[in-house]
Amino acid sequence: MRWMRLAVMVGLACAPLQRPAAQTAPAAKPAPGLADILATSPTSEWETLDPARTLYLDLGNNRRVIMYLAPFAAPSTVANILTFAREKYWDGLAVVRSQDNYVVQWGDPNGDTPQAKSLGSVAPKLAAEFDRPISNDPAFFPLASRDAYATSVGFWNGFAAARDVSGKRQWLTHCYGAVGVGRGETADSGNGQELYIVNGHSPRHLDRNVTVVGRVVMGMEHLSSLPRGTGPLGFYDQPEQRTTIVKIRLASELPVTERLSLERLRIPSATFAAVLKNRRERKDGWYLHSPGAVDLCNTPLPVRIKKQ
Amino acid sequence: MRWMRLAVMVGLACAPLQRPAAQTAPAAKPAPGLADILATSPTSEWETLDPARTLYLDLGNNRRVIMYLAPFAAPSTVANILTFAREKYWDGLAVVRSQDNYVVQWGDPNGDTPQAKSLGSVAPKLAAEFDRPISNDPAFFPLASRDAYATSVGFWNGFAAARDVSGKRQWLTHCYGAVGVGRGETADSGNGQELYIVNGHSPRHLDRNVTVVGRVVMGMEHLSSLPRGTGPLGFYDQPEQRTTIVKIRLASELPVTERLSLERLRIPSATFAAVLKNRRERKDGWYLHSPGAVDLCNTPLPVRIKKQ
């Protein structure tokens, strides 16, 4: 069961079928699919997720969402987020917004009112971290793909990213599952207290307008399936529609018995090259037309539970 | 309330906010936003949706999903779908699959078993309608945007589409909310009995691999928020997890009192040009960085309830 959930998590192959796979007629043996490629990948091509960068969002009823943070892309904002988690700021707050084909967002329902929860010891204002100077430390791996929004796209330390080569800036992109920082009208108004997750077609027009701090690596379905809010911008207009946050914790602050040991595929690696080839060619069975391309936000970034 | 629901339906502006809009400080008057552009658009730039191409999916509990079909793109398959609807084939069947960041799909849970529901008078096999010869009847309006999967993209009779100019073929694309036809291993195995809807980042690699027959124009949130299936490919592995289809009907076969009168923005039109400009520039308030682009599947295709 865990492995099936992995398949969902990384958005594997998965054709729209006339019938469940088990009921289709056996076909001639196809080229290896993504699951085969990952299953035969050497252990050395996987790296353990750092528990000090891994955030667990607990929505109750066994709904756990796991995010991996990107301090290299947004050091000050991620530092704030770590502090919010350590000081248990979000515990008891709520998912306040779920807008179809856009974002799901949490924070303090009492927002700017006198009843707002104290921000504790975090920095209440931060300079924006929408983008960074171009750098290959950590590595940027280019993806050969035409992109509507940027002249260069790829993977920056394993996260989907884009570059403005002439302007010498790079940034994490708003792909499905990206974790961004809600803000007000000014650039410095996003301190990390309200985070949102992309739940639809990747809204890349948000790139460089907000700070992206990471991505969901497991449990996305618990956020994406929440009822959509019927207020403006998908905010819940009835308090009882909100989902309460039981707690948000850093994995490193949880007992080992409550953590999952996760690993991600290294980029670059021979296996990742095979993943890209597979996605572009789609010679693994059901496909009749080879797409010949894979776009940035359709590229799988595999994460799995470590084999013991 | 209806107009707010419209906003959700067409995926309007909608920044990830630090606070609900009502609580943010007033700003200098921005350039007109999408809502302003649509509200001041002349009536002549809108066309009524044809009730004979409009499909109502009723999931009970006031959950109604409205789809607009594209017979010009897939005439035989759409003809089958109209027959399925007229003969009430889908009534009592179910949503059998909900795969995160991919598709939600309905059909006969008994599939290929002896208990399968009769297909009635439809054609059980159809030649594939994955793409069509390039034609400007009806009109194809090109979108100036780099696209990973096709050398030319735009809007074909108001639907998101792409072209292979050298191969002289065009097709409807798998954008969020697209309605596609499930099939088995062979091209002719999709007769329309199982339809799926894109519920995540647009899986454009499915283009030309399945027949796209239309798109959701209202009520998408009732499909996208369904719990994800925990079986392979997001199929529900427990029958009780499925959502029963109360009925699927053509609007033209419903009493007028049970229909919504809908209209869509014409493409091309002066208003649609203003919509594209607005999306590319984003000078309407919250945005600090102009994206300078809008991709095919992020382009709003406005549909609204007709003013009486």
Mark yes or no for CB contact A16/B286 under 8 Å. Answer: no
Task: Please give the pLDDT value at position B3.
Answer: 30
B238 and A CB contact within 8 Å: no
Q: How far apart are CA B179 and CA B133, in angstroms?
A: 21
Distance from chain centroid for Cα A59 = 17
Q: How far apart are CA A244 and CA A97, in angstroms?
A: 12
- Complex-level ipTM: 0.93
Counting every residue written for chain A, the total comes to 308
Q: How far apart are CA A51 and CA A39, in angstroms?
A: 24
Task: Please give the pLDDT value at position B31.
Answer: 85
Non-local CB neighbours of A240 within 8 Å, separated by 6+ positions:
none
Check pLDDT > 90 for residue A307. no
Phi, psi for B55 (deg, rounded to 5): -110, 130
Non-local CB neighbours of B99 within 8 Å, separated by 6+ positions:
A8, A14, B199, B228, B229, B233, B234
The answer to whether the bond into B268 is cis (omega within 30° of 0) is yes
Find the helix or strand (DSSP H, E) in which A271 lies: helix A270-281
Check pLDDT > 70 for residue A26. no
Task: Please give the pLDDT value at position B102.
Answer: 98
Find the helix or strand (DSSP H, E) in which B242 lies: none
Q: Which of B236, B257, B105 is nearest to B180 (CA)?
A: B105
Q: How does residue A116 score in pLDDT terms, banded at 50, 70 and 90?
A: very high
SS3 B20: coil
Q: How far apart are CA B145 and CA A8, in angstroms?
A: 30
Best residue in A24, A59, A100, A236 for a mutation probing chain B (most B CBs within 10 Å) = A100
Q: How far apart are CA B74 and CA B129, in angstroms?
A: 5
A234 and B CB contact within 8 Å: yes
In this structure, are strands B132-133 and A152-156 parallel, antiparallel, or unpaired?
Answer: unpaired
Among A24, A200, A233, whose Cβ lies nearest the Cβ of B17? Answer: A233
Q: How far apart are CA B111 and CA A173, in angstroms?
A: 40
Mark yes or no for CB contact A282/B205 under 8 Å. Answer: yes
**Residue A164: strand pairing partners:** A169
Task: Please give the pLDDT value at position A24.
Answer: 43
Find the helix or strand (DSSP H, E) in which A2 lies: helix A2-9
Q: What share of chain A is helix, strand, coil (3-state, %, to 5)?
A: 25, 25, 50
- Alpha-carbon torsion B165, B167, B168, B173, what sign? negative
Task: Please give the pLDDT value at position A31.
Answer: 84
Among A20, A196, A297, whose Cβ lies nearest the Cβ of B201? Answer: A297
pTM (2 decimals)?
0.93
Q: How far apart are CA A210 and CA A184, in angstroms?
A: 10
Task: Please give the pLDDT value at position B236.
Answer: 97
Look up residue A113 and give its amino acid. T
- The position carrying tokens 């649509």 is B38
Across A136-155, average pLDDT? 96
Look up residue A70 and give its amino acid. A
Q: How far apart are CA A281 and CA A30, in angstroms?
A: 12
Counting every residue written for chain B, the total comes to 308
A82 and B CB contact within 8 Å: no
Long-range contact pairs involving A187-191 (C-beta distance under 8 Å, separation at least 24): A187/A127, A187/A128, A187/A130, A187/B288, A188/A125, A188/A126, A188/A127, A188/A128, A189/A125, A189/B18, A190/A77, A190/A126, A190/A128, A190/B18, A191/A77, A191/A80, A191/A119, A191/A122, A191/A123, A191/A124, A191/A125, A191/A126
Task: Please give the pLDDT value at position B200.
Answer: 98
- From the number of C-beta atoms within 10 Å of its C-beta (0-12, 13-18, 19+), residue B293 rates as middle
- Alpha-carbon torsion A214, A218, A224, A227, what sign? negative
Task: Please give the pLDDT value at position B1.
Answer: 25
What string of pLDDT tens digits covers the 308 residues of chain B?
223 233 333 334 446 665 544 434 444 567 889 999 999 999 999 999 999 999 999 999 999 999 999 999 999 999 999 999 999 999 999 999 999 999 999 999 998 899 999 999 998 899 999 999 999 889 999 999 999 999 999 999 999 999 999 999 999 999 999 999 999 999 999 999 999 999 999 999 999 999 999 999 999 999 999 999 999 999 999 999 999 999 999 999 999 999 999 999 999 999 999 999 999 999 988 999 999 999 999 999 999 999 87
Window 54-73 of A, Cβ < 8 Å to B: none
Mark yes or no for CB contact A111/B235 under 8 Å. Answer: no
Task: Please give the pLDDT value at position A270.
Answer: 98
Token couple for B74: 């897939």
Look up residue A163 and give its amino acid. R
Question: Edge to edge, what strands does the sheet with A212-218 contain?
Answer: A243-244, A94-98, A103-107, A195-198, A178-181, A212-218, A64-69, A54-58, A247-250
Angle at B265 between CA B259 and CA B268, to 5 degrees: 145
Long-range contact pairs involving A42-46 (C-beta distance under 8 Å, separation at least 24): A42/A271, A45/A265, A45/A266, A45/A269, A45/A270, A45/A271, A45/A272, A46/A263, A46/A264, A46/A265, A46/A266, A46/A304, A46/A306
Instruction: Categorise residue A114: left if φ over 0, alpha if ψ from -120 to 50, beta otherwise.
Output: alpha
Phi, psi for A26 (deg, rounded to 5): -65, 140
Task: Please give the pLDDT value at position B13.
Answer: 42
Mark yes or no for CB contact A149/B293 under 8 Å. Answer: yes
Window 126-185 of A, Cβ < 8 Å to B: 130, 145-149, 175-177, 180-185
Minimal C-alpha gap between B27 and chain A (Å):
8
Mark yes or no for CB contact B101/A177 under 8 Å. Answer: yes
Q: Which of A269, A131, A286, A149 is nearest to A209 (CA)?
A: A131
Q: Report percent pLDDT > 90 for chain A.
A: 86
Check pLDDT > 70 for residue A289. yes
